[in-house]
Structure formats: structure tokens, C-alpha cells
Amino acid sequence: MSQGPKKTIPEKNMILSATEGGPMEGILTQWRRERPDIDPTPMAVCGEIWRAGEKLRQGVLSNISNYNLDFAGMDVLFTLRRQGEGETLSPSLLAKDMMLSTSAMTNRLDRLEKRGLVKRMMDPNDRRGQMVALTDEGFDLANEMVVSHVQTEEKMLSNLSSDERQHLRFLLEKIE
């Protein structure tokens, strides 16, 4: 209440809370004791990114499981939905878009097709190729699901102001 100038306190708190108290700090302490020759902060940064990603993934998954879907299925439905109504993508493009093997995509599409959410159509210009589209049911489901999906994400990000979110993206994009 009487020590430093008030001006510096917010900044100080910011820095402190990024290095204290977090679940990462114990790990860093261990490494510093075992390998004082190594600066472990890169591990902390990467670890926080993975931890945050995992937390977000859990939250998103818990929402979409209300629709009897998993992350994989949601990914396909949303990718197709945001192309626009009636638009199609080939299995190869879908796989590339999601950084997935084409065989994994075959499997995902099989499951979604069995549930009636997507349909495969022959590509009229290339008999090797297929055109994958949402069914009406898939389109409606994606339309409904995206609302609660974004709400779920919004809730998990609610401690971040708009500026902070932008800054977070800015920093993440600098990762090589």
C-alpha cells in the first residue's frame, strides 16, 4: 500500500502471473534444479500452448458430443459447411485441409455417410474423383452446431479482451 509507484504494478502483476502459480511452474523448477545449464523457458512456452490447446479441445468436444459427434466429424461438417450450401470438396482436398492422411479421410467420410450427414458423388469430369457434399440433414446440423460451438469457445476465451485475443493471435503467428 506504500511501496512502489502504482503505475508499474499492473505490468508487474502481468509478468508475475505468467511465471508463478501456473501448472507449468513446478516443471520449470524441476528442470532448473536438474539442469541449471539449460534455460527451460522454451519448454514453458510450448507447454502452455499445448496445455491451452488441450483444454480448448476438451471444451469443444464436450459440446459437440451433445450432437453425438466427435472432433473429426465436426471438422468435416464445418469445412464443408463454410464452403457454402451445395458446394463440394474432394476427399483429397478435405484431407489436405485438415492435415490428415487420405485413408483417415476415407474412414471419416464412411462414418459420416453412414449417419446420413454427407454424401459422395462421382466427379463428372474425373472418374477417379469424388465430390463430397453435406446432405440436407448434415447442413442443418452444421448450422445448428456452429452456434453452440462458437458460444463454447467464446466462454473459454471470456477472460481475454478483444485486444488480448488479437495480440495472442499476433504472437502465435510468429511461431516458425
Partner DNA sequence: CTTATTTATTTTGATATCAAATTATTTGAC
Partner DNA sequence: GTCAAATAATTTGATATCAAAATAAATAAG
Contact residues for a copy of itself (CB under 8 A)? 14-15, 17-19, 22, 24, 27, 30-31, 33-35, 38-46, 48-57, 60, 81-85, 99, 143, 146-147, 149-150, 153-160, 162, 164-176
Please state, in angstroms and rounded to a whole number, the distance separating the CA atoms of residues 108 and 144: 20
Rounded to an integer, what distance in angstroms lies between the CA atom of residue 96 and that of residue 104? 11
Q: Which does 38 bind (CB under 5 to 8 A by kind): a copy of itself, DNA, none?
A: a copy of itself
Residue 125 near residue 102, CB atoms below 8 Å: no
Q: Which does 115 bind (CB under 5 to 8 A by kind): DNA, a copy of itself, none?
A: none
CA distance 32 to 41: 10
Please tell me the distance from the alpha carbon of residue 45 to that of residue 172, in angstroms, as a whole number: 11
Look at residue 22 and give its three-state secondary structure. Answer: coil
By the 8 A CB rule, do 111 and 53 touch? no
167 touches, from a copy of itself, DNA, none (C-beta below 5 to 8 Å by class): a copy of itself
Site string for DNA, 103-142 (x = CB under 7 A): xxxxxxx-x--------x--x--xxxxx------------
Q: Where are the alpha helices (DSSP H) in 65-135?
A: 71-81, 91-97, 102-114
Residue nearer to a copy of itself on the CB measure, 1 or 99: 99
CB of 128 to DNA, least distance (A): 4
Binding mask 60-99 for DNA (x = CB under 7 A): ----------x-x-----------------xxxx-----x
- The answer to the question of residue 144 lying near DNA (CB under 7 A) is no
On the CB side of 9, CA atoms within 13 Å amount to 7
For cell 474412414, the residue is: 107
Q: Which residues bind DNA (CB under 7 A)?
A: 70, 72, 90-93, 99-109, 111, 120, 123, 126-130
